[in-house]
Amino acid sequence: MGVEDLLNRMNLPRNHWDARLSEIPDKASHKEQIVDYVENITYNVSNGRGLYLSFKQSTGKSAIAAICLKAALSKGHSGLWLACDQVPKYIIEDYEFDDDMTVVQRAETVPLLVLDEFVLSVKSEKGRKVARVGERERMIEMMVRRRIDAKKATIITSNIGPKTFEEVYPSFFRVLTESVDFVTTDSSHLFRPHK
């Protein structure tokens, strides 16, 4: 199977196929964490260690997740990319991945899973932040919990920073602290994709 076939099989969006580590500016506050994760990808994947990438919108979270997924592939680990808004559809409608496996079964067993664009609807209520945690969020949480139990690595991208996440969805946040490193940056050091 060729590289393009493998990238397609991982469901990696084509616009991230060419994302490279070298395109993260050296002065970016998060680059060292990403380089360390990629350089130790076999250890991280084998030990179920993932990332929670929380930057502002359009600052390269998905491209960084793609870099990590491709690094895993280069070391012989399989992976899968899922957009968070599609997860309920895959669960409810029992989508097939292969003849003998559903997308959800693949997502729960693949060595590295990327869950792209985890979103919570957050509002202020009586001086504190409150999130609307619906069925989609609970489905994602259960999928991640099963992966943690199986010692599988997960990378989550989100616009929600760790502090807000902990405040508005503490049960899921505590679970994540067991298996991911939190990576944040400011928007002044944007990812600069290859043109």
Domain spans of the chain? 3-184
Cα-Cα-Cα-Cα torsion 67, 71, 74, 75, nearest 10 degrees, comes to: -170
Cα–Cα distance measured from residue 125 to residue 130, given in angstroms and rounded to the nearest whole number: 6
Tell me the CA distances in angstroms from 14 to 102, 131, 176, one per residue in order. 22, 32, 28
Q: Per-residue pLDDT tens for 68-98?
A: 999 999 999 999 999 999 999 998 998 999 8
Q: Per-residue pLDDT tens for 159-193?
A: 888 988 888 888 999 999 999 999 986 554 445 44
Cβ neighbours, 10 Å, residue 149: 11
The residues that bridge with 180 in the sheet, in sequence order, are: 50
The answer regarding whether domain 3-184 maps to CATH 3.40.440.10 reads no
- The amino acid sitting at 46 is S
